[in-house]
Amino acid sequence: MAPSNELTGRDELTRRQIPSMVLSDGSSSSMTPLPRSDIEKDPAKGAQKRFSVHGNAVVAGGAGTLGLHACDALLEHGLSGLMILDIDPTTSQKEFDDMRSKFPNAKITTLKVDVTDEVAVDSAFNETVDLLGSVDALLCFVGVVGCMETLEMPVSQWRKILDINTTGSFICAQAAARRMVAQGTGGSITFIASISAHRVNFPQPQVGYNVSKAALLTLKNCLAAEWARYGIRTNSISPGYMDTILNEGDGIAEHRRIWASRNPTGRMGGPSELTGAIVLLASSASTYINGTDIVVDGGGIVF
């Protein structure tokens, strides 16, 4: 016979209550109303409005090459304010200065933040609201790799990769969504996942990275379902191999050759080739895009 305390535990389990997800009803009074679908008479004005980006964005991990290109593109499409969070934003100080010169009417600022520290992230979002007035979009570029045979991989490395790539993205998304809900204005959240979320990379073993990015796809789905009623759209982008400093060097020349040879386009991607998807998901053109992953990899996923 089982001890009485176990029976009590089971009894409590059967009486538990769990919260229920609430979806938007899509009515005109909801946060997801049907927009007007008028055809603009002025073609230039129509094109400009279609991909316009409004308000302020937080770009986590924005000091890297992909993040910098994304920030520039968002500002080109009308972003008013930009907060760049990074573990070391000083590495791109010149690029930030150039960005401020190019967009003198935009407020562009940076903060040194460890995205795995929820207290620091919360403080950074408070400062963002104080400086910019609101948080209307979040883009999460945060991520570390780590190529190693799985049999030899320390558990500490596994934990670090998931803590930064997956948990760090969750912490940023939760902080952004809390501000968006409080504002009552909705917003856009975009995770930068990877083709590694869809398939096993070859030839390099990188199980921790692959799992951390695959987890982002499910995280994106869950948040898209839960937060739509607040007018928050949550999507992701899965880039293929991008030709940045992280993929340079003689030591990986053979890997680069293999990556290109297994891609229908025959090459790696350029940072600017990611910006179209970035702008789309943050813009007024994506009001009905929620829970989507956009693969930008030159067709590599077809294999």
SS3 295: strand
Is position 92 annotated as part of the catalytic site?
no
The answer to whether the CB of 137 falls within 8 A of the CB of 116 is no
Is position 230 annotated as part of the catalytic site?
no
**For residue 167, what is the DSSP state?**
I
Calpha distance 223→291 (Å, rounded): 8
Cα–Cα nearest to 74, from 92, 94, 99, 95: 99
Catalytic-role residue among 194, 196, 238, 286? 194
User: Which H or E element spans position 277?
Assistant: helix 275-282
Q: Which residues contact 163 (CB under 8 A, 6 or more apart)?
A: 116
Catalytic-role residue among 92, 209, 212, 286? 209
Is position 241 annotated as part of the catalytic site?
no
**For residue 133, what is the DSSP state?**
S
What's 203-262 look like in SS3?
CCCCHHHHHHHHHHHHHHHHHHHHHHHHCEEEEEEEECCECCHHHCCHHHHHHHHHHHHC
Cα 95–Cα 98–Cα 104 angle in degrees, nearest 5: 135
SS3 303: coil
Catalytic-role residue among 92, 169, 213, 286? 213
SS3 287: coil
Calpha distance 225→203 (Å, rounded): 35
The answer to whether the CB of 61 falls within 8 A of the CB of 111 is no
Cα–Cα nearest to 236, from 188, 271, 164, 168: 188
**For residue 69, what is the DSSP state?**
H
* Residues annotated catalytic, as ranges: 194, 209, 213
